[in-house]
Chain A
Amino acid sequence: MNEHPGANLKFVSRKRRVREDKRFVTGTAVFAQDVNLPNMKHCAVVQSPYPRAKILSIDASLALAMEGVRYVLTGDEFRANANDMKFGLNTPEVKWYPLAVDMTRYAGEWVAVVVADDPYTAEDAAELVEVDYEALKPIIDPEQAYEEKDRLVHPAHGSNVLYDGHFYWGTVDEDFVAAEERLSYRVRWGRSSTVPIETFGVVARWDEAVDILDVWASIQMPNYVELLAATLRIPLNCVRLHQDVDVGGSYGVKRGIKHSVIVGYLSRLLRAPVRMIEDRLINMASGDAHGPDRIFDTQVAFNRDGKILSLKIRALDDAGAYPGRAPFQLAKPISAIVGPYKINSVQYDAISVLTNKTGQVPVRGFGQSPTNYMIETAVDKVARHLNLDRIEVRRRNFINHDEFPYQIPSGSKYDSGDYHTVLQKALDAANYDELINRRDAARAEGRLAGIGIGTCLEPGGGNNIFEYLMNPSAEITTFSEGAEIRVDPDGLVTGVVGTTTSGQGHETLVATIIGEELGIDPDDIRVVHADSLNAPITRSPVASRMAIMLGSSTAAAAQKIIAKAMKIAAYNLQEPEDDLEYVDGSVFVRRDPVRKLTWREICFIAHKAYHKMPDDMEPGLQAQHVFQVPGGGQLPDESQRVQIYPCFSFQAHIPYVEIDPGTGHVKILDYAIGHDCGTMINPDIVRGMVIGGLAHGIGAALYEKFAYRPDGQFESATFADYLMPSVYEVPMVKDVDHCTPSPLTSHGQKGSGEGGYLGAPAAIASAVNDALHPMGVSIHELPMRSYLIENLLNGGKTDP
């Protein structure tokens, strides 16, 4: 049964159209590529063919001689006039410039940029730039990179190790001694990413008259304008990001900071707007948008009843050549390091290494999806080892509904949940008993069939303290989000969003919550995206945080509007506020409801009739609120225990697969999912996120991989090599929801943008291994491509 008193809600949780959709179906949305300014110049990049090489010389004379070519920028010039791009880890000698300086560090790295009057000319000219290299032997394997002393990606850094952290929470050694059973295993998460259909694009224009760098970008990241300003050595309030540009998908990766500092620099230098749009090949090879690439070595201590006592985890992550914020993806999982299970103690060794590959950026879930795959593998392995049912083992280890808030060994307090019920709902949706019959009947006919069981926690709305955990010089203890509501003299309401949007439906979120709080039809509310100089405080729509953070700040701002309306009404009706009631805009005298002030009257007074305002009240009717992360604001204790995320959503995934024994091809024939993100602000948005994330997880589980040859050459630059699920690879998912409200947010909402992607890879791996079990083999690396499975079935091994 759902707990939330949904009956009291007018607009929240109701099926309503998503207001953003109209501009997309009519083709009138404006993306960065649609920004077309007079006299705009276009960029093309020159890429290094070598994964590791010294740059001996660059000769751009032929390119510059071409008609229509305006400029060629190199790394040396950029370094002389701007700073390197800084990203949070305390590794000052790992310098990242947008164009290679002295040496190149991955195949495809940008060495120069050509600027021309049109993009066709720019690309032709880029081919005429002559670069002399001295090729060096690259370092590609992350385990070798960890040990390597001489072949260094950033020689000045002194090693290839970016981060090597050790966490020890609770009585790990004692629990391992006390446990009746132990097992260990290795799983590998392959290098994939989110790969939005829109590549990254940016347009910049320097406005000399007002000292402002105007930027239109396909961006989704925190600290973007800060990074731009710091890198270009201009004051922060000289950067104006236009956030009304739609972003064609991101899920974490739209972080074209290097593209942006290049066009920012060039637009000022050339006194003309400059645009850079990645083509797909650049996007894949050198847009710096790859995701985690991780090896886990895990030990589990457990008892014969299936109860898991302790985990020892070693995670080795290959961050590529320029890591950005990628290493922090080892730290988010600390917030849910035991998943939805009551596990008493954990040891976690987190290592991030540099290799000569494309740099890694944050990807949907910020490291949680690989980690969840590792945790769920442990549970399946325990069940297999003890010959217990995988579902029963989960039930025995789940935190119970009545145990929340529940604190895990790493210090996170989970806000709320009902894992047993959601799993049961998913099993019911899957028709689990029939599904078992179907699998067994398929097996009896000689087919390879398997059912997957996978659950996941989705931490949402974090406070950035993971940065401090990995770099104690970064004393950042909040990641707040502001909202602004303006009411005009006619009583019409406008909400302001302070960030870009990339499909999350922020305008719908804000309109729905303002409507709910003020009792006004959301369709009558306008919502605008302010530019960064006009915007309320924002940390951008990352970390499943907008429903939690923007939703709660919007609700609080609306309450401030109501509070002011009450004061105006009390003054004019000459009644104490306690005797008044706000209903759908009007304020009534409770005992005599014919005496009231209407919304229009209140708004008119606030804006124009100062003589009817209480003494010293500020004219107008508008409010801002900045919401602090619930439970945030603390530094970790001496055992590195800390609350990072306030809200924890939960999902249970039940896929059914069959494998072609000849080719190893995995076909997902059915898929049921139960999800609980507390109160859904808009159920259609949540459903889309859940199923879309799940489809993304299918890609990570079975198909998507940025592959490198041992010599460091990149092999996945096209959509023919990097395979994303089409409609044929995604089944008609059966989805059921459940609502365990969060006590920490305005309406009980939690995050929902990541869970599908967090649960699906683990669940599909579980299904594939269930199907392979009768053959006596199993696979522990993603993506589980056909040839790997075929090889296994033919008696070969895979080596994760």
Chain B
Amino acid sequence: MTDAIHIHVSINGNTVTDSVIPRMTLLDFLRYKAGMTGTHAGCEHGVCGACSVIFDGDPVRSCSLLAVQANGKSVMTVEGLSNADGTPGTLQEAFQDAHAMQCGYCIPGMLVSAHALLARNADPSLEDIKEAIGGNICRCTGYVQIIEAIQLAATRLREALK
């Protein structure tokens, strides 16, 4: 077996240093090495989006990246969306107000995709929202309340800037 490789990754602003086998996925690294269990495995073949994280600013599927590819990079997971004191941020509050979930399993990925959208588009249209979460499969909700939550968050974030 190939030797372990030493990597350091900035996760939600904290640097995590560990040694990993070369084939370890970023998803497994986040969950089992860095203790960030908010990121979930749904398919592990790049379709469902449950494993989505922000990787150097862009949303990616952590099941389809290797941990070693994250060496020296920064990753943000669902845990990083909360405020510094651990309370839910605006997007997370909106998801609760709209009850945009049931089992909650897809929700970290949804939030990450929605966060990436709102970071670049303060006033997204319905089509923009669909495009942003088009690669996130939710079996529970039928998406309507998720869309409503993202719209609610966008409105609140815009109002906060006024």
Contacts and interface: CB of A to CB of B under 8 A. Distances in A.
Contact of A727 (B48, B79, B101, B134): B134
Contact of B99 (A684, A693, A695, A732): A684
A370 B137 CA distance: 24
Nearest to B41: A33
Nearest to B35: A36
Nearest to A753: B102
B5 interface: no
Contacts of B136: 726-727
A18 interface: yes
B62 interface: no
A689 interface: yes
A17 B97 contact: yes
A20 interface: yes
Interface residues of B, number: 60
Given A197-B50, A691-B142, A727-B133, A720 B40 contact: no
B45 A689 contact: no
A719 B44 CA distance: 10
B147 A198 contact: no
Contacts of A20: 104
Interface in B132-154: 133-147
A27 B142 contact: no
A304 to B, nearest CB: 40
Contact of A688 (B32, B93, B102, B105): B102
B137 A197 contact: yes
Interface in A24-83: 24-31, 33-34, 36
A503 interface: yes
A423 interface: no
Contacts of A194: 139
* A: interface residue count bin: 35 or more
Interface string B4-20: 00000000000000000
Contact of A691 (B39, B134, B141): B141
Interface stretch (B67-75, B106-114, B116-124): B106-114
B54 interface: no
A696 B103 CA distance: 14
A30 B37 CA distance: 8
Main secondary structure of the interface of A (DSSP, over half): loop
A300 to B, nearest CB: 32
A692 B37 CA distance: 25
B61 to A, nearest CB: 12
A301 B106 CA distance: 47
Interface string A687-725: 111011111100000000000000000000011100010
A730 interface: yes
Interface string A501-520: 01111000000000000000
A248 B31 CA distance: 16
Contacts of A502: 103
A250 B140 CA distance: 9
A316 B106 CA distance: 35
A17 to B, nearest CB: 6
B9 to A, nearest CB: 17
A189 B24 CA distance: 41
Contacts of A36: 32
Contacts of B39: 27
A246 interface: yes
B38 A27 contact: yes
B88 A695 contact: no
B64 interface: no
Contacts of B145: 684, 687-688, 691
Contacts of B104: 20-21, 23-25, 29, 246, 248, 503
Given A20-B104, A197-B138, A246-B104, A27 B37 contact: yes
A718 B79 contact: no
B155 interface: no
A660 interface: no
Given A17-B96, A246-B104, A730 B38 contact: no
A674 B82 CA distance: 37
Nearest to A195: B139
A24 B102 CA distance: 9
B34 interface: no
B44 A280 contact: yes
Most buried by A among B21, B77, B100: B100
B95 interface: yes
A27 B108 contact: yes
B43 A691 contact: no
Interface in B46-97: 47-48, 50, 77-79, 81-82, 86, 88, 92-93, 95-97
Contacts of A732: 126, 144, 147
B23 interface: yes
B130 interface: yes
B47 A25 contact: no
Contacts of A21: 95-96, 99-101, 104
Nearest to B102: A503
17 contacts: A21-B104, A31-B37, A33-B31, A196-B105, A197-B105, A197-B139, A248-B40, A248-B103, A279-B44, A687-B145, A691-B144, A692-B102, A692-B139, A692-B140, A724-B137, A726-B135, A756-B142
